[in-house]
Amino acid sequence: VKTEFGTRFPHPAVSRTGVDLDRADRETGELYLSYLRSFPHRPEEASFFEDLARGGFAAPVRRAKEQGLPVVGLVCNFVPPEFVTAAGAYPVRLCAGSPAAVEVGEEVLPRDMCPLVKAVMGMRVAGGGIVSSCDLVIIPSSCDPKRKIAPFFSAYVPTWVVELPQTRDYTRTRDGWLEEMNLLVRRLREFTGRFAARRELRDIIELYRYRTTVVRRLFSLRMENPAALSVLDYFLLLQASFYLGPEEWIARAERVAATLEAAPRPEEEAAPRVLLTGAPLLWPNFKLPHLVEEAGGHVVADTLCSATQALFDPVEVDEGNFAGLVRAVALRYLYPSLCPCFLENEERTDRILELAREARADGVISHGLRLCTVFDIENAHLAKVLSEKGIPFQNVYTDYGQEDREQLKVRVEAFMEMIR
Ligand code: SF4
Ligand code: SF4
């Protein structure tokens, strides 16, 4: 866990354009929120998540700050929020989907970097919002751009890098990863002055495990009856968990699940069932799922690190002592990951096939984010395997802007028509 960037970047950049990100994101998000409000049979309880999104998910983070909790910003899904909670701090995920923040990010980063990374950096450079509330930022060395923004961040706030193995081979990487995670626990303890003892850590793990059961419930409900909840609402709900404490998220999400369980099942599924894979889709960049639904399709499952994949797997504890609990958490956040920075090219394909079967998907759409190569490079293999199985596949390559919306609309509609 490295912390020594500060001396190299002593002067934090301040945005020259003075963009009001909150306002710009609200304008982008309103397109999707007004669509959701007109979605038939939408559960009333989903409006809580809509209000959160309208405020940029900042309200719970502000509350945590007012309570005196240190806020720890996490990039990607590899740093366990359980450890941050155990250190008496408040975890939030910083990966961002804001188109306006991309432009601010370009003031300090090269234009030819992926929009997600430029958006994260742009939020910090613009000031305000969740990213500026962070007392500490932890960035895993997943892809090169992520690794490379760590020194820029350290000009504003203490920034640590967690070194990830570049392969899923358990026998080669397990010890190094456990060492890295134990170091993280020690550093968090030093940073906040506390870390939960065994019993408290076990309770924290249980709480997050329970959150997983609610996520799985929602996931299955979507698969069975996708017409009862827009996938945009489903994504909003899951992404709210990146900012809300687990107790509050569970209470709110369980109400949505209960309403969906009571919703009438459709007699016959006429709409094409789509599995969404590829690069993360983060609020307010919901262009692709919106286009799929507008074209009459249902996203019934996904492998996105911004949605189901982030929250699906529970921590499996096999030894109840402190070291065993830390190990169980550490392993959960690495080995089930479907991040291509860490998998061999065909490993994500295996999971997609399994999920396509389980979700009875009629087709697979891959979200390709402009200038992100790690997903794109796997698509040739994915397309070939899916074609052998007779599953139609479409790669949608785009960015956070709306300029290509009409062009993508035509392509997505044609794909839905073909599936039908
Ligand atoms: S795909 Fe991997 S590197 Fe990219 S945001 Fe997700 S977890 Fe991080
Ligand atoms: S994996 Fe791709 S989308 Fe994710 S941060 Fe890296 S370059 Fe961007």
Q: Could you tell me the distance, in angstroms and rounded to a whole number, from the CA of residue 100 to the centre of ligand 2? A: 18
Describe the chain by its helix, strand, coil percentages, rounded to 5. 55, 10, 35
pLDDT band at 185 (very low <50, low <70, confident <90, very high): very high
Q: Whose CA is nearest to atom 1 of ligand 1?
A: 339
Strand pairing report for 363-369 and 393-398: parallel
Ligand number, closest to the Cα atom of 144: 2
CB atoms inside a 10 Å sphere around CB 133: 18
Q: Could you tell me the distance, in angstroms and rounded to a whole number, from the CA of residue 305 to the centre of ligand 1? A: 6
Note the pLDDT of residue 8: 47
Ligand 2-lining residues (CB < 6 angstroms): 114, 116-117, 143, 145-146, 279, 341, 369, 372, 374
- Select the more confidently predicted residue: 21 or 69: 69
Q: Which atom of ligand 1 is closest in space to residue 342's alpha carbon?
A: 2
Greatest Cα pair distance, the chain, in angstroms, is 64
Confidence check: pLDDT of 411 > 70: yes
Note the pLDDT of residue 203: 98
pLDDT in tens, 365-398: 999 999 999 999 999 999 999 999 999 999 999 9
- Say how far apart CA 336 and CA 168 lie, in whole Å: 9
Note the pLDDT of residue 6: 47
Report the residue count for the chain.
Answer: 420
Note the pLDDT of residue 268: 66
Q: Could you tell me the distance, in angstroms and rounded to a whole number, from the CA of residue 32 to the centre of ligand 2? A: 24
Q: Which atom of ligand 1 is closest in space to residue 116's alpha carbon?
A: 5
CB 281 within 8 A of CB 304: yes
- Say how far apart CA 113 and CA 105 lie, in whole Å: 10
Q: Could you tell me the distance, in angstroms and rounded to a whole number, from the CA of residue 278 to the centre of ligand 2? A: 10
Range in 104-108, 182-186, 203-207, 349-353 the model is least confident about: 104-108
pLDDT in tens, 238-257: 999 999 999 999 999 999 99
pLDDT band at 127 (very low <50, low <70, confident <90, very high): confident
Give Rg (Cα) of the chain: 21
Q: Which atom of ligand 1 is closest in space to residue 146's alpha carbon?
A: 3
Confidence check: pLDDT of 331 > 80: yes
Mean pLDDT of 3-32: 71
To test the ligand 2 pocket, which listed residue (77, 117, 342) has its Cβ within 8 A of the most ligand atoms?
Answer: 117
Mean pLDDT of 142-154: 91
Ligand 1-lining residues (CB < 6 angstroms): 76-77, 95, 142-143, 146, 280, 305, 339, 341
Ligand number, closest to the Cα atom of 95: 1
Mean residue pLDDT across the chain: 93
Helix axes 322-332, 198-224, angle to 10 degrees: 30
Nearest Cα residue to 124 out of 114, 133, 116, 115: 133
Residue 278's DSSP bridge partners are: 367
Percent of the chain with pLDDT over 70: 95
DSSP state of 277: E
**Region of residue 175 (phi > 0: left; psi between -120 and 50: alpha; otherwise: beta):** alpha
Note the pLDDT of residue 113: 93
CB 274 within 8 A of CB 364: yes
Distance of CA 393 to the CA centre of its chain: 23
